[in-house]
Structure 1
């Protein structure tokens, strides 16, 4: 199973999951899956929506290209996270996009500043410096949308 990292009681993130791993996710009590991969990405599970539905979980796919992310898309994703049944598993190819969205949600819902978010990310093994553009977007979004900033 990919390394599932629990961000909060309601949100966990992972890299790409297999059909077998989706079964395990359902067994662990997750109630929804948010896939941030584009159908054009190599390794995208085209039947993931059907597999997730057959397990009784809610499925949503919102493709995120890290180099094209903007405030409107991030806000759409955060609103969808709020709407999905919890706990929710968010995944992408490597877990980086999923982690960024989960940490943005955490920051805006718990009024954390960027330093607090990056400290928590580091504790969970996320290397935010591996994608400077995504890290900068995350910082800017948190500063604009979190009341503690």
Structure 2
């Protein structure tokens, strides 16, 4: 999966060197990887950098889903070389985190967030921790 969210932000779950090369050819200069080392889906930083990307790892798991991790993500997005490809194993964390920082920057309502979420085709499993996290973000 590879989907543009804005002109400078895209999300997905692509990970092969061939797929990443295609993203590089589209002009993307930074990859932010939200996979954790224990998932065995995290990209190899050296290989990603050899393709010409800046590589940033921000492991996101149910254990560290908190406002501080979202703030770190937001700071990295705002300071990294753009355009940025944000990825995780399924694309869900990448999508939710990207939409949450856009919601904050653009003062979206929860309804606007949910509409964009649906447009991207992001789906939560039952009792999904990241869904609860996104709901808490708007409740707070």
Structure 1 length-normalised TM:
0.85
Cα offset, 1:116, TM superposition? 0.5
Cα offset, 1:115, TM superposition? 1.0
SS in 2 for 1:9: coil
Counterpart residue number, 1:22: 20
- Describe the superposition over 1:79-132 as per-residue Cα deviations: whole angstroms up to 9, x where unpaired: 111111111000011111111111011101111111101111101211246554
Q: Which ranges in structure 1 are unaligned for 5 or more consecutive residues?
A: 145-149
Residues 67 and 133, structure 1, Cα contact 8 Å, conserved in 2: no
Query: How many residue pairs align between the two structures?
Result: 140
The 2-side partners of 1:68 and 1:120 are apart by 24
Q: Which ranges in structure 2 are unaligned for 5 or more consecutive residues?
A: none
Counterpart residue number, 2:51: 55
Residues 34 and 91, structure 1, Cα contact 8 Å, conserved in 2: yes
Q: How does 1:1-149 map to 2 (within 5 A)?
A: 3-45=1-43, 48-128=44-124, 130=126, 132-144=128-140
Report the CA distance shift for 1:105/1:131 in structure 2 as closer, same or farther (over 3 A): farther
Residues 15 and 92, structure 1, Cα contact 8 Å, conserved in 2: yes
Residues 35 and 41, structure 2, Cα contact 8 Å, conserved in 1: no
Residues 7 and 83, structure 2, Cα contact 8 Å, conserved in 1: yes
Residues 14 and 92, structure 1, Cα contact 8 Å, conserved in 2: yes
- Describe the superposition over 1:26-58 as per-residue Cα deviations: whole angstroms up to 9, x where unpaired: 11110100000111212333xx21122222221
